[in-house]
Amino acid sequence: MARFESPANPIPFVYVSRARLHRPRANVIQTIKTVEGLARIGVSAELFVPPWEGSRSAQDILSDLGVAAPVCIRVENGLRTFWKPFAFASFFWRHKKRLQNALAVYTRSAALSLALMKHGIPHSFEVHDMAALQRHGLLEQLLQGFAKGLIHHFFPISRAAAQGLLERGVPPERVHVCPCGADLRLFRNMAPWDPAGLKKPHIMYVGRISRHRGLKILEALACQQGFRVTLVGAMEDSPNTGRIEVVPFVPHHEIPRYLEQADILVMPYQRDLPHAGSISPMKLFEAMAAGRPIIVSDLEPIREIVRHGHNGLCVDPDDAEAWLKAVRFLQDHPERAHHLAANAHKEASRYSWENRARTLQEILLNDRRESRDG
């Protein structure tokens, strides 16, 4: 459920976001689930977001995302894109004191981090796309903010992203790898995986598909006799085959019902995907929670989660024949496939949003309380 009141008492954790809730994109889901995770472990948190398009209520949007815990959302016109050139001055004029009184202020938006620095608000920054930060000259500005004490901690979503910060001199105690996660509640009643399905496997990818995200791999698999390939999401580039079944985006809380129909789940991200060097896709953790065999691209940040032959298969992203061989391996070794799926399901418990929230609580709230008490 959503709450919109303006509490009189200071909120321990304030998350400032540019996520527009009408877009069911990964950044929106990840932001909302992070705040819900905090609520589930008893941390009072407040999420500021810009207005969104359309007439859908926040409650309807949160219901689609499977949010059940109370989430305090505050819609703020001062976070509109219009205000970006002015460092979101309208927002800070209204809420600067509230931000100053919070135990922790948090954002994953570089533009908002720079604005927080300009207005003298200490905060912590969640790092997603290191390549983009470097490409746009933002990383150096963020590091300058850290040197001035205006950024307290960095929370990269992968060790690969963390390495870039460490190499630039950020002390390890200020860099905390914090991967994305899965809402494990939504996977409690999943139908068990049946290895008999491998005879004519139903292969599935969930999310937006494009050439960068491995459309050519789906095409190659779809052309195999006896394989059924389904995309649950959006086709951003035209496929070269009509054999890929497309299910348009579905409400996020319904994703487990589709995953349980799959015999094999694939994530064929390509090396030229702009953020391939620091990726931490939610769909990976959801695939693990679904307890299905997983085949993923052999990329450095993916290997942080998937160990080849233990909880999934890692395959050369560009080699369509290697993906076919991986599927054939699972078909020929159903007991091995079951072992991979079971290990992935077991390890998914480490990546709940609640566990992610506990990391934030331990580092940010306890750190700030100790500094205040001191």
Domain check: are 92 and 42 in the same one?
Answer: yes
The whole-angstrom separation of Cα 305 and Cα 361 is 23
| pLDDT value of residue 66 | 93
Q: Is 159 exposed, middle or buried (0-12, 13-18, 19+ CB in 10 A)?
A: middle
pLDDT of amino acid 1 = 46
Task: Flag whether pLDDT at 9 surpasses 60.
Answer: no
Per cent of the chain over pLDDT 70 is: 95
Q: What is the pLDDT of residues 164-183, one digit of tens each?
A: 999 999 999 999 999 999 99
Query: What is the distance between the alpha carbons of residues 301 and 299, in angstroms, rounded to a whole number?
Result: 6
368 in the same domain as 296: no
Compute the distance between CA of residue 193 and CA of residue 134 in angstroms, rounded to an integer.
42
Q: For residue 202, which amino acid is it?
A: H
**What pLDDT score does 286 carry?**
97
DSSP code of residue 362: I
Full strand arrangement of the beta sheet holding 123-127: 2-3, 71-75, 45-49, 13-16, 104-107, 123-127, 151-156
Residue 372 has pLDDT above 60, yes or no: no
Do 110 and 219 lie in one domain? The reply is: no
The DSSP code sequence of 19-78 is --TTS--HHHHHHHHHHHHHHHTT--EEEEE---SSS--HHHHHHHTT--S-EEEEE-GG
Q: Is residue 371 very low, low, confident or very high in pLDDT (cuts 50, 70, 90)?
A: low
Specify which residues 264 forms β-bridges with: 203
On whether both 238 and 111 belong to a single domain, the answer is no
- 356 plus 337 within the same structural domain: no
pLDDT above 50 for 5: no
Model confidence over 283-340: pLDDT tens digits?
999 999 999 999 999 999 999 999 999 999 999 999 999 999 999 999 999 999 999 9
Which pLDDT score is estimated for 24? 80
Q: Are strands 123-127 and 104-107 parallel, antiparallel or unpaired?
A: parallel
> Do residues 165 and 197 both lie within one domain?
no
Mean pLDDT is lowest, of 154-158, 208-212, 220-224, 369-373, for 369-373
Per-residue pLDDT tens for 126-143? 999 999 999 999 999 999
234 in the same domain as 167: no
List Cα–Cα distances, 10 to 18, 46, 71, 95, 133, in angstroms. 22, 10, 16, 12, 32
**CA 62-68-70 angle, 5° bins:** 85
Domain count, the chain: 2
Where are the alpha helices (H) located in the chain, listed in sequence order?
Answer: 26-40, 58-64, 89-101, 110-118, 130-135, 138-147, 159-166, 215-222, 255-259, 282-290, 300-303, 320-332, 334-348, 353-360, 366-373
Question: What is the reported pTM?
Answer: 0.93
- Tens-place pLDDT, residues 150-163: 999 999 999 999 99
pLDDT at residue 19 tops 80: yes
What tens digit of pLDDT does each residue of 237-287 get? 888 888 999 998 899 999 999 999 999 999 999 998 888 888 899 999 999
CATH code (residue 236): 3.40.50.2000
Same domain, 161 and 189: no
Which contacts of 101-105 are long-range, i.e. CB under 8 A and separated by 24 or more positions? Answer: 101/10, 102/10, 102/11, 102/12, 102/13, 102/14, 103/10, 103/12, 103/13, 103/364, 103/365, 103/368, 103/369, 104/12, 104/13, 104/14, 104/360, 104/364, 104/365, 104/368, 105/14, 105/16
* pLDDT of 368 above 90: no
Give the closest residue to 333 by CA, choosing from 293, 372, 287, 302. 293
Based on the domain organization, do 165 and 205 belong to the same domain?
no
Same domain, 232 and 190: yes
Containing domain of residue 46, as a range? 2-181+352-373
Range 348-360 average pLDDT = 96
pLDDT at 22: 87
Q: How far apart are CA 310 and CA 121, in angstroms?
A: 44
Give the CA angle between residues 226, 231, 234 to the nearest 5°: 155
Looking at the structure, do residues 265 and 216 belong to the same domain, yes or no?
Answer: yes
* pLDDT above 80: residue 218: yes
Residues 211 and 201 in one domain: yes
pLDDT digits (tens, 9 = 90+) for 44-103: 999 999 999 988 999 999 999 999 888 999 999 999 999 999 999 999 999 999 999 999
